[in-house]
Amino acid sequence: MAKEGNDRAPFEWLALRCQTGDPGAFADLIGVMERPLLYYAASLTGNQDAALDVLQDVWFKVVRGIRGLKEPGSLKPWLYAITHGVAVDRIRHDYKRDKAEQAQLDEAFNIDEPSFGQEDATAIHDALSRLGVKHREVLVLHFLQDLSIIEIANVVSCSEGTVKSRIHYAKRQLKQILKGVNYGTTIK
């Protein structure tokens, strides 16, 4: 389970460096957070190219808004909240177009269900991609990005109880997906 505040100090220091205009601070921030934010954006958008576009917009917002961050120790959840907002805006904007394009691709290439005979990580990531956005994002934030329930609630703008419920139902769905493909891991 995520431990709240276990990595606040390094992020607080990075935020303060960025806020004071320390040369190289923003590059350091990108170096630390680019991959996790890109993964999160990709898990929300379901598309690496869209995730890269989201991340570009995120960094513009961070550059413009970092000085206004009142609690430097909350840098990590703040970054995820920005990424969430930008990704959701993108999903809303592109929903109809993406659905139409996907339907055309599925029909054109007659895509079969993916095989789960690959390594465990691939099976889990594939199963994650089958979950709805609300369930997928809480699992990614909690188990892969190590955010606490409180931090996730702030990122996705809902109550802690809702986050706990989404995690519970997401784990159940993930278990069913993995069970349906004869994957041997038990999700508790």
Q: Kindly state whether residues 33 and 126 are assigned to the same domain.
A: no
Task: Please give the pLDDT value at position 2.
Answer: 45
Out of 80, 111, 142, a domain closes at 111
Out of 89, 111, 133, a domain closes at 111
Q: pLDDT per residue over 80-115, tens digit each?
A: 999 999 999 888 877 666 566 666 655 654 444 444
Mean pLDDT of 25-48: 94
Residue type (1 letter), 8: R
CATH assignment at residue 162: 1.10.10.10
DSSP label at residue 46: S
Task: Please give the pLDDT value at position 102.
Answer: 65
Greatest alpha-carbon span in the chain: 54
Task: Please give the pLDDT value at position 38.
Answer: 96
Token pair listed for 67: 């000085």
DSSP 113-177: PPP--S-HHHHHHHHHHHS-HHHHHHHIIIIIS---HHHHHHHHTS-HHHHHHHHHHHHHHHHHH
Q: Kindly state whether residues 71 and 136 are assigned to the same domain.
A: no
Token pair listed for 7: 């990595």
Q: Kindly state whether residues 156 and 181 are assigned to the same domain.
A: yes
CATH assignment at residue 101: 1.10.1740.10
Q: Which of 53-67, 75-89, 120-134 has the lowest mean pLDDT?
A: 120-134
Residue 164 belongs to domain spanning: 114-188
Domain count, the chain: 2
Q: Kindly state whether residues 10 and 92 are assigned to the same domain.
A: yes
Task: Please give the pLDDT value at position 146.
Answer: 85
Q: Is the dihedral of CA 15, 17, 20, 22 positive or negative?
A: negative
Q: Kindly state whether residues 18 and 62 are assigned to the same domain.
A: yes
Give which of 187, 155, 157, 152 is closest to 172, Cα–Cα.
187
**pLDDT: is 4 or 59 the higher one?**
59
Q: Kindly state whether residues 158 and 121 are assigned to the same domain.
A: yes
Q: pLDDT per residue over 123-180, tens digit each?
A: 778 888 888 889 989 988 888 888 888 999 999 999 988 989 999 998 889 888 888 7
Q: Kindly state whether residues 101 and 120 are assigned to the same domain.
A: no
Q: Kindly state whether residues 97 and 177 are assigned to the same domain.
A: no
Q: Kindly state whether residues 92 and 3 are assigned to the same domain.
A: yes
Q: Kindly state whether residues 120 and 107 are assigned to the same domain.
A: no
Record the pTM: 0.62
Out of 83, 111, 139, a domain closes at 111
